[in-house]
Structure 1
Amino acid sequence: MTRTPPPGGIDLFDVERLHLAEAEEPPLPPSDAMARDLVWDGAVLANPALFDGPVVACAGLERTGPRILRLSWVRVTYRHYGLRRVPGATALASLFVNVVQPTDDGRVTVARMSPSTATPGRRQLPGGCVEPPPDGAGLDVCGLAGQAARELIEEVGVHAAPATLRLWAVTRGKHGSVGLTHVAPALPETALRAAFASAADAERDQGREPEPDGIAFVHSPRELAGRAGPHVDYPEPVVRRHAAGG
């Protein structure tokens, strides 16, 4: 497995095979559960748009061979992450999919989140939290590609068949969050801008604000850093690897 030296504490792993195994949520002391619920209730008061929906968390990530990873996953809800603000409590790592959508000249598409989201102005790759499969069903690589394809449609308006998205890297952030990065077929910048504009207009026609309110295209980590606004931690090593032809 190739591991990029972690700039700013971010790990990036090249991966050829990913094995997924469901695990049970660790037991939680009643005092931590009560504190978690208080944190969540306060967050909802501050932002009524928050929804305690089902989500997948990462319970463990380990190397089992060259370019082979094993990921343990757990069914939780967004409320679980309130544990991050409970002193002494331990929260599982968040798990998300994201997509490198290249232009035909090698740049990477970066989205800017709109003011109506929980992270206004934040720069990130198109993506989102992993959703759990139906009870009794497993999580697999094809299903993850399907979720990545859905995020690409919802956030930048690009329709890519899941089979065309390749799991390209796995990142582990400074706070333990794990990203499953897929790469999509390259498209011209004009086509990407038109797809984004069409998707944003469709959201507004439904009376909703688009999640991202803008996109940009970057060749390098320096160009990425030059974009105004807060940034999540994982795009920098992803853009670095892509620029190097990884």
Structure 2
Amino acid sequence: MHLIQTVDLAKQYVMGSNVVHALRGVSLAIDEGEFVAIMGASGSGKSTFMNLIGCLDSPTAGDYFLAGENAAAMSADDLAAVRNRRIGFVFQQFNLLPRTSALENVELPLLYAGIPASERRSRAMQRLAEVGLGERFDHHPAQLSGGQQQRVAIARALVNNPSLILADEPTGALDSRTSIDIMALLQKLNREGMTIVMVTHEHDVAAFASRIVSFRDGRVISDEPNRPQDAQAGLARFDPAGAAA
């Protein structure tokens, strides 16, 4: 089943007397359980595409179906409800609240959803344990490494049991070794059935996905499956010693 389907999706921005065509009729389908990397240079349309499938923005033209619902026709309130119910976000800069614990950061989406405190804590603790931080629940972001902070962000993205994870340059602020750990975690989540769409400009990071879609000038220019040996080659470029071990 298609979890994501876009049909002639277009987005234009008016800047003074200029019209910027950020997306030009993109038709793309992503099935449940896929791990897709979206690639392209700055200005290629990949971030605009991510914003649209993440229900953070609405298209100028075309349709976007998320689990069969046409998000392109939804109101702002409906889009907010879909974001909270169906989508988990992981960002390059983690976006954690600095003065709250890892547990409290992970609980935030549940707080917005009106979940009772005891259930919030239970579900947040479970997700922290799943990303390997069950014993660090009371640590603040400043007490955690960059990789640990990104794991907290991933736990937060998972806590509402979404059907889709959107990761925007999830390793952009991390060193190579930590990047491998985060990509391995995303691969594990994907093997367990999570659908993941990741924006990246790094071929080494995209190599961990099972499918690579490339954008240029607001259009899809290639859409190819990624073979396991290509993922292994990406790992070798990240860390030759680790890949050889």
TM exceeding 0.5: no
Q: The TM-score by the shorter chain falls in which range?
A: under 0.3
Q: TM-score, normalized by length of structure 1?
A: 0.23
Structure (1 or 2) with the greater helix fraction:
2
